Amino acid sequence: MESSLYASLRRTVAATSTVLALAAGAWASGTEAVDTVITPEPAQAAVPVDGFDATAEARQLVAESRRAEREARKQAEAEAAAQAAAAAAQQAAEAEAQAAAAEEPRRAGTRATRGNATRSRATRSGRAGTSRGEPIVSGNGNSVVDYALAQVGKNYRFAGTGPGGFDCSGLVAAAYGQAGVSLPHQTGGLSSKGQAVGRGDLRPGDLVFTDPGHVGIYVGNNQMVHASTQRGGVKRSDVYRFAYGRRIVNG
């Protein structure tokens, strides 16, 4: 009895392996008619053992394999599309930053010409740097930088906007929010706000993107404040990598 059952099982396994090999070959060659591959001739049909049908089992395995292949292909295509979009966004931001850097010499001459008039307007209004079109933040001691520095040592918190914890874009949104400027709580949204700025032209308060997914607040001396990681929390550190920068402007 046991030897007969063992022999039947061996025949079943052999038949299943043959069916799977045929199905794999048909799949590789693009054959869509699965039934013609996995349905053997009557003389080659697997011998049922206690109700186990090798042909049905093989058919199910082939169907599951194809479903897995389709899902893997869809996932790979989605991931490739996301990576391509992120790379395109970074390239566009870098191109804008390079264009801004190339334009800087001309802007420097214009700023020098306008300097006295700008300082005069700022003195009259009592709000230096808040006239329409001028940078909201400039120089040390501005409220955005002061707020960011005051958060150093607090916890990193996913989607956090304070006061107990922050993520990177949440810290930026909170720092500018207390200065009366509404910014999105999303790194991708922040990357299109304000004006592009090169690394050599950074001012305290500018946004520093180390990559398309992480942002901090420049505080001067090649340093920034950012909500780094779960372990690091909110900290002040060197600008260890610069992908692009943005200057938030009024108006």
**Domain's final residue, options 74, 100, 117:** 74
Residues 6+ apart with CB under 8 A from 230: 156
**Same domain as 208, residue 143:** yes
CA atoms within 13 A on the CB side of 51: 0
Note if 214 is an active site residue.
yes
Do the domain assignments include residue 115? no
The owner of tokens 């697997």 is 46
**Same domain as 139, residue 64:** no
- Report which DSSP code applies to 241: -
- What pLDDT is stored for residue 85 in this prediction? 79
Domain that holds residue 233: 129-247
How confident is the model over 209-244, as pLDDT tens digits? Answer: 999 999 999 999 999 999 999 999 999 999 999 999
Residues 6+ apart with CB under 8 A from 92: none
**Same domain as 151, residue 229:** yes
Cβ atoms < 10 Å from Cβ of 141 = 7
**Same domain as 223, residue 145:** yes
CA atoms within 13 A on the CB side of 187: 23
Residues 6+ apart with CB under 8 A from 141: none
**Same domain as 211, residue 133:** yes
Mean pLDDT of 201-205: 94
How confident is the model over 27-36, as pLDDT tens digits? Answer: 555 554 444 4
Note if 185 is an active site residue.
no
How confident is the model over 143-184, as pLDDT tens digits? Answer: 999 999 999 999 999 999 999 999 999 999 999 999 989 999
**Same domain as 135, residue 241:** yes
Torsion of CA 245, 247, 248, 251, to 10 degrees: -140
Candidates 59, 226, 246, 247; catalytic one: 226
- What pLDDT is stored for residue 109 in this prediction? 58
Candidates 154, 185, 214, 246; catalytic one: 214
Do the domain assignments include residue 124? no
Domain CATH code at residue 224: 3.90.1720.10
Residue 196: φ, ψ to 5°: -70, 145
Candidates 19, 137, 144, 168; catalytic one: 168
Do the domain assignments include residue 230? yes
**Same domain as 153, residue 54:** no
- What pLDDT is stored for residue 78 in this prediction? 83
**Same domain as 66, residue 160:** no
Say how many domains are in the chain: 2
How confident is the model over 44-88, as pLDDT tens digits? Answer: 444 444 554 557 777 787 788 788 888 888 888 888 888 887 777
Which DSSP helix (H) or strand (E) runs through 207?
strand 207-211
173: exposed, middle or buried (C-beta count within 10 Å: 0-12, 13-18, 19+)? buried
pLDDT, averaged across the chain: 75
- Quote the pTM value: 0.48
Which DSSP helix (H) or strand (E) runs through 106?
helix 54-125
Rounded CA-CA distance 165/152 in Å is 10
